[in-house]
Structure 1
């Protein structure tokens, strides 16, 4: 494989993208910094096809990233392969408003091949290539320039091995007939709605005990205000106001800006500064949360109760057995909320009652709940047995 020098000019990038656009698949990874910012700062992009690989410096003066971004989001003929690509996809979405498509995530594929629920890239390379990666450059400052050779070599390794591992994984998935199992998961992680930061929905991420419409209305207004402040200042949300402080203000609103100086988690300067004034303005404009937005007082699905919780525990034991028997990560087969709902009597709208999940787990799970299956120990091994 040809490894190119760091790409820092538009012509070289355009030519590189034109060549790899002819490949059926490419491997993609990014290096970024976000510890001190709201928006992740893209510092490096690594891309490879089966024949060549390059790192691209998005911070290079005058570099036009359009050819690369077009390849990511507008070329449906090239499959984009990531490993644990959630944050990489988020960065592309921030830059384009779209997500890479079609795409394949090797961490999710590893779940279908029995390699654990969240296998790291280093362990993936070790398992498939027998290579132990040097992780010495992992926590370096990727925003600092110039990048040294060790950093670039480390970064390039994230795609040169990935482009070799992907066809091996794909072949194994075909052999086991599990390729179709991943389609739903790949579409889910490429859904643009997962990467949108709507200020009006930010309140749903903040924990608060109260379910009163007026309190939640204040929380919605405050969370939207904080989201906008964080975006405008490009600071992490917690640097503006921490979640617990936001919830406290929503539950016990100050009568005036002067009282902000008494709020735990805010400095005394909020009594007189502009940001304190904007917070009070957001509070003044709040409306009680509408009925259509109110969280349900009762769970959407039937409550478990003590006996139901025991049934759910049995279903989780069954899940462990099935996961072991078919060598697939339990997390890929079933979610906890679906198991709890099945234990509570729900029989519709559950992913474990559809498609391959039903065949591999859901059918036996229903039979267990309804008394047609039981646990048994045979030759020291826990198994399921039919009661009929």
Structure 2
């Protein structure tokens, strides 16, 4: 495989992308910094096919990333391969408003091949290639220039090994008949709405005990204000106001800007500065949450009760047994919400009652809750029997 020098020139990048566009698949990874910013700061992009690999410096003066972004989000003929690609997809979405498609995530594929729920890249390379990666450059400052050879070599390794591992994984998935199991998971992680950060939806990520419409209305207004402030200043939202302080002000709103100086978690200067004034304006404009917007008391989880909780525990035991039998990560088969909903009597809209999940787990899970399957212990071994 040819490893190119660091790409900093638009002409070189366009030529590379033109060649890669003829490949069946490419491996992609990014290096970024986000500790001190609202938007992740893209510092390096690594990309490879079976013939060549390169690191691209998005911070190079005048570098036009358009050919690279077009390859990622507008080329449906090239499969984009990531490992644990959620944050990579977020960055691409922020730059384009789209996510790569079609895509393949080797961390998710590893779940179907019995390699655990969240295998790291280093362990993946070790398992498939027998290579121990040098992680010394992992936590370096990727925004600092110039990048040294060790950093670039480390970063390139994230795609040169991935491009070799992917076809091996694909072959094993085909041999085991599990390739189709991953289709809906890949579509799920590639859904663009996963990466939206709408200010008007930000309140849903803040924990608060109150269910009063006026309190939640204030929380919605404050969370949207904080999101806008953080975006405008490009700093983490927690640097504006922490969640606990936001929830406290929603529950016990200050009446006047002078009162902000007494709010725990806020600087005393807010009682007279512009950001304090904007916070008070957000509070003054807050409206009680409408009935349609009110969250369910326990979203997606009908009341289990004591007996239902016991049934859910039995289902989780069954899930653990089934996952071990077929050597698949339990999380790929079913999530806790679905198991608890089945235990609570829900029968519609559960993914475990459809497709391969029904064949591998859902049918037995349904039989268990409806009394057609039972656990027994024979010679010290836990077995399932039909009743």
TM-score range, shorter chain: over 0.9
The separation in 2 between residues aligned to 1:379 and 1:134, in whole angstroms, is: 48
Query: Is the 2:300–2:337 Cα contact (8 Å) retained in structure 1?
Result: no
Would the aligned equivalents of 2:301 and 2:337 in 1 still touch at CA under 8 Å?
Answer: no
Cα offset for 1:192? 0.4
- Secondary structure of 2:101 counterpart: coil
CA distance in 1, matches of 2:10, 2:301: 54
Q: Root-mean-square deviation (CA), in Å?
A: 0.9
The alignment covers a number of residue pairs equal to 387
Structure 1 residue 374: deviation in Å? 1.1
Instruction: Tell me if structure 2 keeps the 8 A contact 1:321–1:382.
Output: no
**For the residues of structure 1 that align with 2:333 and 2:56, how far apart are their CA atoms?**
37
**Matched residue, 1:171:** 171
TM-score, scaled relative to structure 2? 0.99
| Distance in 2 between residues matched to 1:20 and 1:380, nearest whole Å | 57
SS in 2 for 1:161: helix
Q: Could you tell me how far apart the structure 2 residues matched to 1:302 and 1:224 are?
A: 30
Deviations 1:250-283 (A, max 9, x none): 0000010000000000010010011000000000
Structure 1 unaligned residues grouped into runs of 5+ = none
CA 59–128 in structure 1, closer or farther in 2 if over 3 Å, else same: same
Question: 1:204: which partner in 2?
Answer: 204
Aligned to 2:36: 36
Does the alignment pair 1:17 with 2:23?
no
What residue number does 1:297 align with?
297
Question: Who is 2:247 aligned against?
Answer: 247
Counterpart residue number, 2:268: 268
Q: Deviations over 1:333-370 (max 9, x none)?
A: 00101111111111111110010000000000010111
**In 1, Cα distance between the equivalents of 2:378 and 2:169?**
34
Cα deviation, residue 300, structure 1? 4.8
Match of 1:47 in 2: 47
| Conserved? CA contact 1:10–1:64, under 8 Å | yes
Q: For residue 141 of structure 1, report the CA deviation from its aligned partner.
A: 0.2
Q: Aligned partners of 2:31 and 2:110: how far apart in 1?
A: 22
Task: Quote the residue 2:136 is aligned against.
Answer: 136
CA distances 1:124-161 after superposition (whole Å, capped 9, x unpaired): 00000000000000000000000000000000000000
Inter-CA distance 100–291: structure 2 relative to 1 (3 Å threshold): same
SS at match of 1:80: strand
Separation in structure 2 between the aligned mates of residue 327 and residue 379 of structure 1, nearest angstrom: 24
Distance of 1:38 and 1:180 partners within structure 2: 37
